[in-house]
Amino acid sequence: MKKRMATLLLLFICIPALFAGTFDLGFTLGTNTHFYEHSYDNDAVKFAYGATIGMTDILELDLQANSQLVPRFFADTNVLVMVQRTLQGQRNTGKKIAGIGVNTLVGAGVMFSDYHEGGQFVPTHLLFSVTPITIGSPYAGKRERILSFTLAYNMYNNQISLVMDLLKNDFYVIGTYRDWRP
């Protein structure tokens, strides 16, 4: 119960404070898998959901929660907070001109979880992420992120694991072509 409350607090209290001055705002849905840390996380696949907030034309803030669906609905949840940068051009121009439609993202961040001996929901992992392929842009209103690989360093037990997102879809509600109609 404490994990769910912490997840909701992080996602729904922090996000509105970040809206001012953003290029765009989208909601994320997808999958998530955490490998090589079976003693703490033995779920095969989790449901990923969250928000992506465009801070500049090349930087974005991603807030993502990953929750177990089977066998116990939302029994195990962790939260990733990452800053990501595009490598091949502008993700969104903030004007009537679209950004690059195919891009690559690199990023760093922190995972909040209870994957340590104490069991409290705290920052546990340092993250480094590479998303080799993104198709779409905030201007188009939709973007797919394909094969995101994230190295996760558990600060409590000095273990390195892999977090992989096979496919994530971003659905943008602010900063799309609809905002620039004459």
| Long-range contacts (CB closer than 8 Å, 24 or more residues apart) made by 116-125 | 116/40, 116/154, 116/156, 116/157, 117/156, 117/157, 118/156, 121/2, 121/3, 121/6, 123/155, 124/154, 124/155, 124/156, 125/152, 125/153, 125/154, 125/155, 125/161
Predicted local confidence at residue 11, as pLDDT: 58
Predicted local confidence at residue 136, as pLDDT: 92
Tokens of 105: 């993202």
Given phi > 0 = left and psi -120 to 50 = alpha, else beta, which region is 141? left
Predicted local confidence at residue 174, as pLDDT: 85
The whole-model pTM stands at 0.84
Count of domains forming the chain: 1
Predicted local confidence at residue 74, as pLDDT: 79
CATH number of the CATH domain containing 76: 2.40.160.20
DSSP H helical ranges for 19-87: none
Predicted local confidence at residue 5, as pLDDT: 57
Domain that holds residue 166: 1-179
pLDDT tens digit at each of 182 positions of the chain: 555 655 565 555 455 555 555 678 899 999 988 888 766 676 668 899 999 988 888 999 999 999 888 777 877 888 999 999 999 988 887 777 777 889 999 999 999 988 888 878 889 999 999 999 999 988 889 999 999 999 999 999 899 999 999 999 999 988 888 877 65
Predicted local confidence at residue 37, as pLDDT: 74
Predicted local confidence at residue 133, as pLDDT: 96
